[in-house]
Amino acid sequence: MNNTTTYSILERLPYTAPFRFVDDIQEVDENHISGSFHLHPDLNFFKGHFTDNPITPGVILTEILAQVGLVCLGIFLIGDEWQKQQLPFVLTSTNIEFYKPVYPDETVWVESEKVYFRFGKLKCKVMMKNALGETVCDGMISGIQIKENNVTT
């Protein structure tokens, strides 16, 4: 993988701060992706989850898994076809197990392995690790490719 590929994927993400949870992509190919995100202590959700002992909500960890492990991989897989898309992928299902808390100022790494990609549906086995290499959470995540003519308003 080269820096152009990483830049291209990151530029195509349909998210901006404060809801973009991908800092870097370390590896990507047709079958897997790995990337990371640093949970800055000033992120808004830490102010209220939990009082005097903030931890990252499971829904945010799931979103990190989805953005790195599903959307970034999906953008890579559809390649130049992305230009025809309004949104690259939207989440359709998750089955995530949580094992360890993630605190403010931690960096997490996501590994995602493609289970299948067909008919515009992508399913991946995902895992998140902390700086100690411990598994924070893992599971399965799926999404569907959304084309402009599929979107209703």
Which residues form the catalytic set?
A: 49
Write out the E strands in the chain.
24-28, 32-38, 85-98, 107-118, 121-129, 135-147
**21: its two tokens:** 């949870």
Helix (H) or strand (E) holding 100: none
Helix, strand or coil for residue 142?
strand
Q: Work out the angle at residue 123's Cα, subtended by the Cα atoms of residues 119 and 124, and round it to the nearest 5 degrees.
A: 150
